[in-house]
Amino acid sequence: MIPITVNGNTYSSISEAWREEAVADLPEITVRWRLNQGWHEDHAFNTPPVDPDVRRTFADVRRTFEEVMD
């Protein structure tokens, strides 16, 4: 297992960190995808999931994390 630090707390695995740190209704697979895409650990665990009605609205437009959070 690879240790991961989220919000200043170190966990022995992504699964353990997800159980303790992830926001409500955020699937573990989403956290893993975000980490694989290069998201910072805190952002991957603390950013709520995108509403399914909005998710595909701009599928053809790539935006940065900062643009999405504005």
Q: What is the pTM of this model?
A: 0.74
Mean per-residue pLDDT, 21-30: 91
**Number of domains the chain is built from:** 1
**What is the CB neighbour count within 10 angstroms for residue 26?**
18
User: Over the stretch 1-10, which tens digit does the pLDDT of each residue have?
Assistant: 889 999 999 9
Burial of 17 (0-12, 13-18, 19+ CB in 10 A): buried
Give me the domain span that covers residue 29: 4-69
State how far the Cα of 39 lies from the Cα of 8, in Å rounded to an integer: 16
User: Over the stretch 27-59, which tens digit does the pLDDT of each residue have?
Assistant: 999 999 999 999 999 999 999 988 877 776 665
Average pLDDT for the chain: 86
User: Which DSSP symbol is given to 50?
Assistant: P
